[in-house]
Chains A and B, each alone.
Chain A
Amino acid sequence: MWQIDKQNRFIIKKLADEAIIFDRYSGSTHLLDTLSSEILTLLQSQPHGLGDLAQNLKVKFEFPSDKVLNFSLEQHLLSLSSQGFIVNYPSDTFPDLPETLSH
C-alpha cells in the first residue's frame, strides 16, 4: 500500500501539468513530471494499492498498453520512493481500507 511518507511533511502544488513539491524536513524543492504529480495527488487523498493507482492513471492518461502503464507506474513509484516522498507499507497496516485498495 503506497502512501505519502508523512502527511504534513510535503507541500505539493500543481502548476499546469507539472507539480512542485516542498519538503518541510529538508527545505528542498523538487519538480515532478505529470505522472509523478498525479500519483502524489492521488496518494495525498489516501493510500493506494498498485492496482488502484493503475486504474486511476488509466482513466486520465493514454498508454499504448497495460504493460507500458504498469512499467511506467512502477518506475515512477520507485523514483518517488527513492526520493523519500512515498513509502510502501504492508496492506494489513491499514485494516479499515476496502479490499480494492490493498496491494
Chain B
Amino acid sequence: MILSQICPKLFHTEISHNGVTINIGPYKVNICSTIHNVAQDIYRLYDVYEAEIHADFADIYIQIEQGSGFRRFFKRQAIFNNDGTQPFTPLPIDQAYAQFEWGLNWAIANQSHQYLMIHSAVIEKNGKVVIMPGAPGAGKSTLCSALVNNGWRLFSDELALISLEDLSVTPVPRPISLKNESIDIIKNFVAKPIFGKVAYDTHKGTVSHLKAPLESVQRANEIAPAQWVILPQYQASSKTKLTEFSKGHTFMEVAQQTFNYHILGATGFEVLSDLIQQCDCYRFNYSALPEAIELFDSLV
C-alpha cells in the first residue's frame, strides 16, 4: 500500500511502536521513532512510497529515539540506532529528521557492497543517466533539485549505486537535502515545493529536505546506464560552462568521492574505470539555474 493510505493516527501509533517499513529504491527500510517531528516529516515526504506495517522483513532497521534520563526534559536529544548500534553522537531533537536521512545514507553505504557507491547526485532523462559527483558545497543538490523538477528523473541526491555486474545505475530516490541559501533558492525556483521542517545550526548549517518528485518514486525500479559524469561547481555570478575533462582526471576525482572503492579493491578499480570509459566526462560551472537546465536538456 502507499504510505498516505495508512491513516495518520495508525501511522503514528505504528511508527512509534513496531516501526513502518518503506520501500526506498531497492531497500526495505523499517523506521521506528517516538519523536513526533520525525513521524510528521516521514508522513509528509514519503507519502507516495510503498509502505507496510507489520512487515516480516526489512533490509535496514532504523530507530530514532529520544535521549533518556534528564535528556527527556532538558536540551532534548535524538539518538540514531541502526540494527542495535548507535554510531553517531546524539543531536538536538530539532535535528532528528535530518539525523534520520544522514543515518540512512550511512546505513545504505555500510551494507551495499554489491554496488560501487559514489557520493553523487544522479539524474536520468530518455534512458540516460548523468552522475554528478561533488564534494559538499559544490552545488550538486541545488542543481539536482532544479533539474528533477524540470523534466529529469531523480535517481538520488546522495548515492550513485553502480552495478558490479553490468555498470547499470540503480535509483534510490529520496528527499533532497538542501542547505543554507539553497533552500530559499529552490523555494523560489520550483513550483509548489514540499519541504520538511527546517533544522537550524546543524553541522552543515541550516538544512531542510525537499520531497522527491512523484514520477521518480513511482519509477524507482527502472535502472538505466550511465552516459555522462559531470563534476558540477556552483560559483556566484559565473557563466554557465561545460568543459570536457580528461577521463584519467575524472577517474581520480570520482574515486575520491566513493564510499567503498577501497573495500572493493581490484573490482572497484575495474568497475570505475569501465564506467568512466563508457561516459563522456565534463566539468560544469554554473550560477543561473535556467541556463543550467537548458544546457542539460541539450545533452539529450
Contact = CB atoms under 8 A, between A and B. Distances in A.
Interface string B247-284: 11101100100000010011001100100110000000
B198 to A, nearest CB: 40
Interface in A29-70: 29, 31-32
Contacts of B273: 13, 15, 20
B248 A19 contact: yes
B247 A15 contact: yes
A24 B262 CA distance: 11
Contacts of B265: 24, 27
Interface string B238-249: 000000001111
A101 B255 CA distance: 37
Contacts of B246: 15-16, 18
Provide the main secondary structure of the chain B interface: helix
Contacts of B262: 27
A12 B265 CA distance: 14
Interface residues of A, number: 13
Nearest to B269: A22
A18 B253 CA distance: 14
A11 interface: yes
Interface string A1-25: 0000000000101011011101010
A13 B246 CA distance: 14
Contacts of B247: 15-16, 18
A13 B249 CA distance: 13
A31 B269 contact: no
Contacts of A18: 246-249
B32 to A, nearest CB: 38
B269 A15 contact: no
Contact of B255 (A16, A19, A29, A32): A29
A13 B266 CA distance: 12
Nearest to A16: B247
A29 B264 CA distance: 13
Interface of A: 11, 13, 15-16, 18-20, 22, 24, 27, 29, 31-32
Interface of B: 246-249, 251-252, 255, 262, 265-266, 269-270, 273, 276-277
Given A18-B246, A31-B252, 10 more contacts: A13-B269, A15-B247, A15-B276, A15-B277, A16-B246, A18-B248, A20-B252, A27-B262, A31-B249, A31-B251
